[in-house]
Amino acid sequence: MANALAGIKPEKVWMYFEKICSIPHGSKKEEKLAQWIIDWAKEKKFEVQTDKLGNIAVRKPATPGMENRKPVTLQGHIDMVCEKNSDVEFDFDTMGIQPYIDGDWVKAKGTTLGADNGIGVAMSMAILDSTEFPHPALEMLCTLDEETGLTGANQLATDLLKGEILINIDSEVEGTFTIGCAGGINTGGLFKYEAEAVPADHTAYKLTIKGLKGGHSGIEINDGRANAAKLMIRVINNLMKSINIKLSSIDSGNKHNAIPREAFAVITVPNDKKAEFDKFIANFNKILLDEWKTKEPGFTFIATPESNVNRVMTDDLQNRLIKSFILMPHGPYRMSPDIKGLVQTSTNFAIVETRKDEIYYLSSQRSSMESEKIALAEAVQAALTVGGAKVESGDGYPAWQPNVKSPILQKASEVYKQINGSEPKIEIIHAGLECGLIGEKYPNMDMLSIGPNLADVHSPDEKCQISSVERVFHFLTELLKNIPEKKNIA
């Protein structure tokens, strides 16, 4: 797959992106990519510095005549969401992503592409590694572990950065300047697995829901996509009401910020209910297909015989678990009263995983209103408590409050209009960005987020538009040429 992206422009951006793809860099496992970036910086004779966590700052002096411009930090995260479909054989710890060109898009073979945020890092590296673009003093900040809780930004050293303007290259719509985002918190729970033997007169089956779109729980949460975990809970609940099934396991999702695309459950069915069970599966499959045929055309629901099942949950645990999960909210909670179309508060039913001694659950709440974020997290906690789970909550991260009078926003808008003849779209997003946490540590830093067109991030359908990357890269280099002098920026 080497040079799979050769020939598309900007060539240096895609060269660096393909190299990033070749190095495993899932969240919390970015050490190989981090070391490669550090070695690259040293080879290029750039100043490089890391903080205690391992966030990386790479610096390049201003080009001649630009020394009096405000220094700029180009920022992106070097981890990626590792998602694949269950029938794809791929080890994210040892294998590199396999990108390929499909028309005007770059995609990956069977997995997430990692353009979130590899393409932003690649753009920053290409700019630092160029001699053709005038620019002020530059600093590339590569943060760690953004996708599982913004760990890098949360633990960013307060003396690492020297830039006065930060351009985050982690947005996903060309021509849109992001100036604010939601805050978030994860809420989870543990149910103790209380087991009993499989009844002698029962036969085991595996229920499978797959083929859903999934997607980013901040960006696509308002798109009306199905949540495989919630659908499976509904199936099990209806089976419990009509047939005396026993639940052995339920598993769905593996990322807090991805809508589950697949769900699996192992159940046992009384032998004398086999015909009734077959009829239920056929009928419920039709019900779900009718509900989702437009939005989820790839939807599949099947039941297949399962062997080597040696335990089921007690009736008490099964009832408590399913009751909790039926009560568990998912999706938009409230739309913004001030910005049309913006989700203000939401929650994602993200993960349920059956382990040896417990059933693990994780959800993610987002909001631009801190009070609503906490209130929704408390609703999730209440649903978990109903089922007798031990509740676990993270510290969360703050919203990035917008500054409509931001000097870098004004300058970027001027440059964008000069290039395109139209105004950019200014927005606040429901997804989380690191700018809020970075702004807490560097309160005087002027910040803006941009990026090329990405689609279906956090899913194996993720793709990055080639022509958009070229346009955004050109805009970014033009913006760097036009950074005002220090004395002209308050």
Q: Read out DSSP for 213-271? A: ---BTTTSTTTT---HHHHHHHHHHHHHHHS--EEEEEEE---TTB----EEEEEEEEG
Q: Are residues 229 and 346 in the same domain?
A: yes
Residue 74 lies in a domain: yes
Q: Are residues 91 and 162 in the same domain?
A: yes
Q: Are residues 145 and 191 in the same domain?
A: no
Q: What is the DSSP letter of 201?
A: T
Q: Are residues 196 and 216 in the same domain?
A: yes
Q: Are residues 368 and 403 in the same domain?
A: no
- Output the domain CATH number for residue 171: 3.40.630.10
d(CA 312, CA 86): 24
d(CA 313, CA 440): 46
Residue 1 lies in a domain: no
Residue 379 lies in a domain: yes
Q: Read out DSSP for 415-468? A: HHHHHHSSPPEEEEESS--THHHHHHHSTT-EEEE----EESTTSTT-EEEHHH
- Output the domain CATH number for residue 254: 3.30.70.360
Q: Are residues 170 and 277 in the same domain?
A: no
Q: Are residues 232 and 172 in the same domain?
A: no
| pLDDT digit string (tens) for the chain, length 490 residues | 478 999 999 999 999 999 999 999 999 999 999 999 999 999 999 999 999 999 999 999 999 999 999 999 999 999 999 999 888 999 999 999 999 999 999 999 999 999 999 999 999 999 999 999 999 999 999 999 999 878 999 999 999 999 999 999 999 999 999 999 999 999 999 999 999 999 999 999 999 999 999 999 998 999 999 999 999 999 999 999 999 999 999 999 988 989 999 999 999 999 999 999 999 999 999 999 999 999 999 999 999 999 999 999 999 999 999 999 999 999 999 999 988 889 999 999 999 999 999 999 999 999 999 999 999 999 999 999 999 999 988 878 889 989 989 999 999 999 999 999 999 999 999 988 999 999 999 999 999 999 999 999 988 999 999 999 999 999 999 999 999 998 644 4
Grouping H, G, I as helix, E, B as strand and the rest as coil, residue 99 is: strand
Q: Are residues 160 and 43 in the same domain?
A: yes
- Which sequence positions are flagged as catalytic? 79, 146
User: What is the pairing mode between strands 195-196 and 446-449?
Assistant: unpaired
pTM, to two decimals = 0.80
Q: Domain boundary at 393, 426, 448, which?
A: 393
Q: Domain boundary at 339, 374, 393, which?
A: 393
Q: How many CB atoms lie within 10 A of CB 329?
A: 17
d(CA 458, CA 348): 14
Residue 4 lies in a domain: no
d(CA 235, CA 284): 8
Q: Which of 263, 271, 223 is nearest to 245 (CA)?
A: 271
| Structure token digits, residue 200 | 């002698």
Q: Are residues 48 and 169 in the same domain?
A: yes
Q: Are residues 388 and 404 in the same domain?
A: no
d(CA 27, CA 9): 28
| Structure token digits, residue 202 | 């029962």
Domain, as residue range, for 308: 185-393
Q: Read out DSSP for 202-229? A: EEEEEEEEE-----BTTTSTTTT---HH
Residue 6 lies in a domain: no
Q: Which of 287, 309, 311, 307 is nearest to 299 (CA)?
A: 287
Residue pLDDT, tens place only, 377-406: 999 999 999 999 999 888 788 899 899 899
Q: Which of 247, 257, 212, 219 is nearest to 349 (CA)?
A: 257
Q: Are residues 285 and 228 in the same domain?
A: yes
Residue 69 lies in a domain: yes
Q: Which of 323, 303, 321, 302 is nearest to 312 (CA)?
A: 321
Q: Domain boundary at 393, 422, 448, which?
A: 393
d(CA 232, CA 251): 9
Torsion of CA 234, 236, 241, 247, to 10 degrees: -160
E runs forming strands in 16-174 = 47-50, 56-60, 72-77, 99-102, 105-108, 138-143, 165-168
What's the total number of domains in the chain?
A: 2
Residue pLDDT, tens place only, 154-207: 999 999 999 999 999 999 999 999 999 999 999 999 999 999 999 999 999 999
User: What is the pairing mode between strands 343-354 and 165-168?
Assistant: unpaired
Residue 369 lies in a domain: yes
Q: Are residues 410 and 373 in the same domain?
A: no
Residue 479 lies in a domain: yes
d(CA 47, CA 54): 15
Residue type, 406: S
